[in-house]
């Protein structure tokens, strides 16, 4: 879990708001300050992301289009994390990279299992 309270750039969403859509281009990941976000690929549910968790990290790693749609499940405040800030997090605390990789690996496992059904 990561505390995103000290970030400088926040954005608020209402319940049901789409934060980004599968196929969108992007340049930031998000950390949840308050609320919950659901991740979906097509019509399939992938995960629910909660306070102090992150999502949208893949775009910072490969600069490709978004692989999922993110929707606010309830009123949600997000910290916007640029690639520059992402690299600062890693420089300040190298274990942050492991947290991101763990999050990514968990989501890839779920997606892989769903595709095999």
pTM for the full predicted model: 0.88
In a domain, 31, yes or no: yes
In a domain, 4, yes or no: no
| Cα separation values, 13 from 5, 10, 43, 77, 93, Å | 16, 10, 21, 6, 29
In a domain, 3, yes or no: no
Pairing of strands 54-55, 10-13: unpaired
Tens digits of residue pLDDT in 77-114: 999 999 999 999 899 989 988 888 888 888 778 777 76
In a domain, 5, yes or no: no
- The answer to whether residues 110 and 39 touch, using CB atoms and an 8 Å cutoff, is no
- Domain span including residue 57: 10-112
Tens digits of residue pLDDT in 11-24: 999 999 999 999 99
Q: Where are the alpha helices (DSSP H) in the chain?
A: 58-62, 83-92, 95-116
In a domain, 79, yes or no: yes
- The answer to whether residues 18 and 71 touch, using CB atoms and an 8 Å cutoff, is yes
Question: The CATH number of the domain where 59 resides is what?
Answer: 2.60.120.10
In a domain, 73, yes or no: yes
Structural domains of the chain, count: 1
């Amino acid at each position: 879990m990561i505390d995103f309270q000290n970030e400088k750039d926040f954005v608020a969403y209402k319940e049901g708001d789409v934060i980004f859509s599968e196929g969108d281009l992007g340049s930031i990941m998000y950390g949840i300050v308050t609320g919950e976000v659901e991740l979906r690929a097509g019509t399939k549910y992938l995960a629910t992301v909660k306070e102090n968790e992150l999502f949208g990290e893949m775009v910072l790693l490969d600069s490709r289009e978004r692989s999922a749609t993110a929707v606010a499940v309830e009123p949600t405040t997000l910290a916007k994390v640029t690639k520059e800030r992402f690299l600062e997090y890693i420089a300040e605390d190298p274990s942050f990279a492991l947290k991101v990789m763990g999050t990514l690996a968990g989501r890839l496992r779920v997606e892989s299992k769903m595709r095999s059904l």
